[in-house]
């Protein structure tokens, strides 16, 4: 005999109240229709409810952002952008983040996730001119693996795009020749077109030394 289903109807989990059973997911796990105190309804996995992974429809986070005057801030947009890249398969960049197993640490998730993230950011030198960057591109978003950098520094630390056919960032084949560009001050700068790959690679390295202040950095950047 199978295990007796856990009775969930009427049980409260955070701001959710379970209304009724709503079928099963692809793994035959029970799903439940829940109603938030604000009136919004959503179908949620029962195990996720019991673990506390979902405590509201999102109204808790919105209240926190509003309370601290950060809802429309750039820092909040950065935070929401991380969550989208890590957890929303429909996000255009999910493939390079959540799709690779890149997630956010528990400290930056949950009811007080943004507050914890904000406190870390302000103590770590955040300004509106900087972007969040993972030190180890294969590591998760967590305090010990994140820093605030300018755009050029972030570019140097990115992975080579999957459609890069040369293995050297900023070097692309154009017919029988090779074109080189580099990103400077938010814009793509054309370095030149070269007859052979070695000359193009050297030109890219020299451009990094000229515009980024050193040519011995890794060549894993996206752009």
- Pick the last residue of a domain from 149, 182, 215: 149
Name the pLDDT band for 10 (thresholds 50, 70, 90).
very high
User: Do 90 and 135 belong together in one domain?
Assistant: yes
pLDDT tens by residue, 43-62:
999 988 988 888 888 777 66
**End residue of a domain, out of 149, 176, 211:** 149
Average pLDDT, the chain: 80
Range of the domain at 108: 69-149
58 domain residue, yes or no: no
Query: DSSP letters of the chain?
Result: -PPPPPP-TT-EETTEEEEEEEEE-TTS-EEEEEEETTS-EEEEEHHHHHHTS--SSSHHHHHHHHHTT-TTSHHHHHHHHHHHHHH-TTSTTGGGTGGGT--B-GGGSSTTHHHHHHHHHHHTT--TT-EEEESSTTS-BSGGGEEEE-HHHHHHTSPPPTT-SSSSTTEEEETTEEEEEEEETTEEEEEEEESSHHHHHHHHHHHHHHHHS-S-S-S----
Name the pLDDT band for 218 (thresholds 50, 70, 90).
very low
How many domains, in total, are found in the chain? 3
pLDDT (tens digit, 9 = 90+) per residue, 93-148? 888 899 989 999 999 997 788 889 998 998 888 888 888 988 888 899 999 999 99
| Better-predicted residue by pLDDT, 153 or 56 | 56
Averaged pLDDT for residues 9-16: 91
């Amino acid at each position: 005999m199978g295990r007796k289903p856990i009775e969930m109807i009427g049980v409260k989990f955070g701001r959710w109240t379970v209304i009724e059973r709503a079928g099963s997911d692809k793994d035959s796990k029970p799903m439940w229709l829940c109603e938030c105190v604000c009136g919004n309804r959503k179908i949620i996995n029962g195990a996720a409810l019991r673990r506390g992974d979902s405590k509201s429809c999102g109204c808790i986070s919105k209240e926190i952002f509003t309370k601290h005057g950060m809802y429309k801030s750039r820092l909040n947009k950065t935070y929401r952008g991380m969550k989208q890249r890590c957890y929303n398969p429909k996000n255009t960049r999910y493939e390079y983040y959540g799709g690779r197993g890149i997630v956010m640490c528990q400290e930056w998730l949950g009811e007080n996730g943004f507050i914890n993230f904000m406190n870390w950011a302000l103590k770590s030198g955040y300004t509106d001119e900087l972007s969040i960057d993972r030190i180890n591109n294969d590591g998760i978003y967590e305090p010990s693996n994140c820093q605030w950098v300018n755009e050029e520094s972030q570019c140097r630390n990115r992975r080579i795009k999957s459609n890069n056919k040369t293995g050297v960032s900023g070097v692309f084949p154009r017919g029988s020749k090779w074109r080189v560009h580099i990103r400077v001050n938010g814009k793509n700068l054309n370095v030149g077109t070269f007859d052979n790959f070695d000359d193009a690679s050297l030109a890219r390295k020299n451009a990094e030394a000229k515009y980024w202040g050193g040519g011995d950095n890794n060549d894993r950047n996206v752009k």
